[in-house]
Amino acid sequence: MSLPFAIIAVLTIAAAVAAMNLRNLVHCALALTVAFAGLAAAYLQLDAQFVGFAQILVYVGAVAILIVFAILLTRGGDTPQQSIFSSSWLAGAAVAVVVFGVLAWTVVNSAASRRELPPQPEATVKQIGDALMTKFVLPLEVVGLLLTAALIGAVIIAMKEDRPELRNHASKNGTKAETSGQIVNRKS
């Protein structure tokens, strides 16, 4: 195997394993960003330049920041003290090992694995744009609709709700008299 591919592969897998094993959540998110960058390098190795740059723009530039913001909004910034793995971690790890075993065995034993490297294809942005507008225009429109729905949906789900029942619920820390007084006031 060529040296650049070996370096990229080792870097990406190390970053992915680190993302799944580190204690601190923000470190996990940063390791995931390194994995994304390694994958973008792999796409560039495979002569898919548009996809490589789109991967950096979308994943490193937006999804990683989204994950980091969500970690901070759910107060995950501190290193947790108790165990980070759930109680059934052995079953999960076993399933993952079995899945990798099956996939690797299939890959190595398939006929496709004996293909040689074809000459470099031409995948200019112009051709991608042409394909998007002629052959793939319906998926393009559907993805646009889906992104709009996801945008609106995410904003509505994560919006802070300002209902009076929630304010009562939150004031349970006060004395009984206060809460019953509030409920009495509301009824009258």
Q: Kind and range of the H or E element at 106?
A: helix 89-109
Is residue 57 at the binding interface for other proteins, with CB under 8 A as the rule? yes
Out of 4, 7, 97, 180, which residue is the one contacting other proteins (CB under 8 A)?
97
Cα separation of 107 and 118, whole Å?
Answer: 19
Q: Which is nearer to other proteins, 123 or 182 (CB)?
A: 123
Residue 110: DSSP 8-state: S
Binding residues with other proteins: total (CB under 8 A): 106
Structure tokens at 134: 């002629």
Does position 7 bind other proteins by CB under 8 A?
A: no
Q: Does 58 bind other proteins (CB under 8 A)?
A: yes
| Contact status: 83 vs other proteins (CB under 8 A) | yes
Residues 111-170, interacting with other proteins (CB under 8 A): 112-118, 121-128, 131-132, 136, 139, 143, 146-147, 150-151, 153-155, 157-158, 160
What's the chain's Rg over C-alpha atoms?
A: 25
* Least Cβ distance, residue 13 to other proteins (angstroms): 6
- 48-70 CB burial, b ≥16 within 10 A, e <16: beeebeebbeebbeeebeebbee
Would you count residue 35 as binding other proteins (CB under 8 A)? yes
